[in-house]
Structure 1
Amino acid sequence: MIKDTSQQDLVVKSTKISWKKAVGVVALIGALGVTARAISMADTTGRSFERSALQVAMVSRGDFVRDIQASGRIVAANAPQIYSPQAGFVDLLVKAGDTVTQGEVIARVNSPALTNELKQQQAELARLRDSLAREQLEVRRETLTLNRSLELAKVTLDAAERENRRAQLSIKQNLISQIDLEEAVDDLARAKLNYQHAQQEVALGKDTLAFELAAASNLVERQQLVVDELQRQVNALEISAPVSGLVGNLFVQTKAAVTDQQALMTLVDLSAYEAQLQVPESYANELGLGMSVVLKVGASEVYGKLSAISPEVSNREVTTRVRFDHSDMGGIRQNQRLSARILLDSKEDVIKVRRGSFMNAGGNVVYRVEGEVATRLNIRTGASSVNEVEILEGLSPGDQIIVSNYEQFEHAPLVQLR
């Protein structure tokens, strides 16, 4: 017989859950959810990176200037090199770094051979001048003799004409014979012939004397040219500065023996500077005379123009010259290093973004940032400059992309940003 159910019942103690424990449970569940979401996101994106370690740039619209970077140095636009005019021994009157003015004597070359040659030619010139003076005296003497013979022939002709007239009158009065008349006529004819021959001889003699005198004069003039040339060469042994400036490098020592046309020194014209730039040969076909160039010399920036482009390539580079106004610049020096931007062309109203290491991947892929995720996109780029890249397709103004190197992303379609 069952008395009651007391043996089957158990006493259960009443338990109340406090609100603090309830909040803790909810927080734990939320943390587990965030962790699960992060794990899920990591599984989806593939990789996760700190946002602060990446470079992000915004796509914008505006004017785009295509330029290229180049390096170079300051060179003197006029830096003549001084050469020895003759073989001899040189005396340098300046030292490297000295300031010289145009026309100042900076060196002398002692050339004994040239000096001796000049003295010999001067002696020959003096001899020829004496010969010319002697020839002039001889011409005067010969001219006097010719004139005398002509005058004597004229006197004989006049006498024969008088005798002929006298004979003609006498024959009419029967004072002389016919034979005497004929003799007078013959004497007149002979006198006329002698006078004509005397005139021709005088003319020929004077022409001969004039020719000989001219020949002697030509010899003197020719020798004078020889002496003048040698004198010019001797005067050139005193070398003057062709420009005002500084003495650059000295190639010889004073009192040294030099050969003809041997380099002695260089001068640097301080009034005109240019920039010599080395441009990669890949841009050679895009360069043109008159292009604008921005030069950065120390802390100063100046604008210039391309004035010369080398027609040859050396060490995979093309040498160019840039003219610029350095009147407002101070402290520039020969061979001072500088950097430059050559402005090739410009475009208006284009989509562009700041250039970065992402271009190393070819510029066809970018990672667009959207919140905490960067998505891999295919784009098409156009012209590029030192600082910017033109975007043709794939991005819009206002988009943000990662411009740092993509090697660490390992071609992941999504990248999480922390």
Structure 2
Amino acid sequence: MKKFIIWGLVTIGAVVLIMWKLGANKKANEAKTEFVKQSNIGDIPVLVQKVSRNDFSQGFLANGNFEPVRELSYLAETAGRVTKLLVDEGSVVRQGQPIAYIDGQLLNTDLESAKANLNQLKVDKERYESAFQTGGVTQKQMDDARLQYDIAKTRYEAASRRVSDTYVKAPISGIINKKYIEQGAYLSVGNKMFDIVDVSRLKLAVSVPEGQVVTLKTGQKVQVTSNVFPETQYEGTITFIAAKGDNSLNYPVEMEVRNIDGKDLKAGMYGTAHFVDPNAAKTIFIARTAFVGGVNSNTVYIMDGNVARKRKVVAGRIVGDQVEIREGLNEGDTVITSGQINLTEGAVVVAQNGKK
């Protein structure tokens, strides 16, 4: 019996203790809430920024390697032995300039034979055409004579082309960058003979991020510098902007760069393109700290008199600690850049240092 009385008293005591603790916690929470309310009765100090539009033609750099605008590997178009070699590696050549000769004795014989055959068939054709007028031959005989003449003419032209191919001429102007043959070597059709590069104009290939490639246009002028001549500025012109980027959202961009006498750049050298948007419009930029909960929230506070008001905006480019505002703010607005953690809609604020 005594045990039941003791357990009953213990249980009642525990319940009373729990009720007292809950009451104490409630009073403590009410006191904290009241303290916050009392602390918020006064004006909340904030830092602000006056919204204005400014020229923001921020440039950016992109690095790449110079490449020749034109380069090709010349392949032998006819078989034979190289009888004369007129250039060496490093030789400057002009388009159409002879650079080698291939033995064409057999081809010249074939050409003479084709020419003689053509002349004979031409006489036969004319004879048949004349005889057809007097009824001496049939229409078919005359047509056959014409056909034989046309075939012989085609063969003669082909033989002439093969003889012409023995006179190897530079297909483009440039420099012999590599020579694969020597005088006396025998060539088969398709053998590589020369690598020719034109470095009077170079192209600089770079990769540009998506946020910056949208500001570029073909034909736009670009300042280009190189490590080998850092004191010299070259003028580039954008000739190509890729329509599709890579997995990193970088877009290949090419620009043509004209060499400068005495400061000649070479293919393979390292170069830097200095991009500047010449048509950059005045843009609103605000401090990154102005956003409530980060830039992705697209929410800021502005001062409306001495009251804080939430404002939805559309953020654009992020440049350092500044964020472009595409929509949502106007010139003259005052945006709160610090102190938002204490703010709610309609809170009374005061700008520190008298900024409003």
State the distance in 1 between where 2:101 and 2:76 align.
Answer: 9
- Provide the residue aligned with 1:119 in structure 2: 109
After TM superposition, give the deviation of residue 332 of structure 1 in Å: 2.4
Q: Secondary structure at the match of 2:156?
A: helix
Query: Aligned in 2, Cα 1:323/1:104: closer, same or farther, shift over 3 Å?
Result: same
Pairing of 1:57-68 with structure 2 (within 5 A): 62-68=54-60
**Counterpart check, 1:330 vs 2:263:** yes
Q: What is the rounded CA distance, in whole Å, between the counterparts of 1:383 and 1:137 in structure 2?
A: 84
AA matched with 2:64 = G
Q: Which residue of 2 aligns with 1:233?
A: 162
> Gaps (5+ residues) in structure 1?
1-59, 144-200, 356-361, 365-379, 400-418
Question: Whose RCO is larger (CA < 8 A, sep 6+)?
Answer: 1
- Residue from 266, 275, 297 that aligns with 1:342: 275
Partners of 1:72 and 1:339 within 8 A in 2: yes
Q: Find the aligned partners of 2:276 and 2:129 in 1 and give their Cα distance.
A: 80
Secondary structure at the aligned position of 1:102 is classed as coil
Higher Cα Rg, which structure? 1
SS in 2 for 1:272: strand
Aligned residues: 254
* Offset of residue 229 of structure 1: 1.9
1:108/1:237 contact within 8 Å kept: yes
65 and 211 in structure 1: CA distance in 2 versus 1, 3 angstrom threshold: same
Secondary structure of the 1:226 match is helix
Q: Aligned to 1:340, what secondary structure does the other structure show?
A: strand
Aligned-residue RMSD, C-alpha = 4.7
Aligned to 1:75: 67
Aligned residues of 1:278 and 1:319 also touching (Cα < 8 A) = yes
Q: What is the CA–CA distance in structure 1 between the aligned matches of 2:316 and 2:213, rounded to whole Å?
A: 19
Q: TM-score, normalised by structure 2?
A: 0.54
For residues 1-400 of structure 1, the aligned pairs below 5 Å read 62-90=54-82, 92-110=85-103, 116=106, 119-120=109-110, 122-123=112-113, 125-127=115-117, 129-130=119-120, 133=123, 203-205=134-136, 208=137, 212=141, 215-252=144-181, 254-280=183-209, 287-297=216-226, 298-311=230-243, 318-324=251-257, 326=259, 330-343=263-276, 346-348=280-282, 350-351=284-285, 382-384=316-318, 389-390=322-323
TM-score, normalised relative to structure 1? 0.47
Partner SS for 1:230: helix
Tell me if structure 2 keeps the 8 A contact 1:71–1:279.
no
Contact 2:110 2:159 in 1 (8 A): no
Shift of the 260–73 alpha-carbon distance from structure 1 to 2, 3 Å rule, reads same
Deviation sequence 1:280-319 (CA, Å, 0-9, x none): 5776666542344332232233443321124565685543
- Structure 1 CA distance, aligned partners of 2:238 and 2:144? 59
Per-residue deviation, residues 329-363 of structure 1 (Å, max 9, x unmatched):
8332233211113345624264478x9xxxxxx98
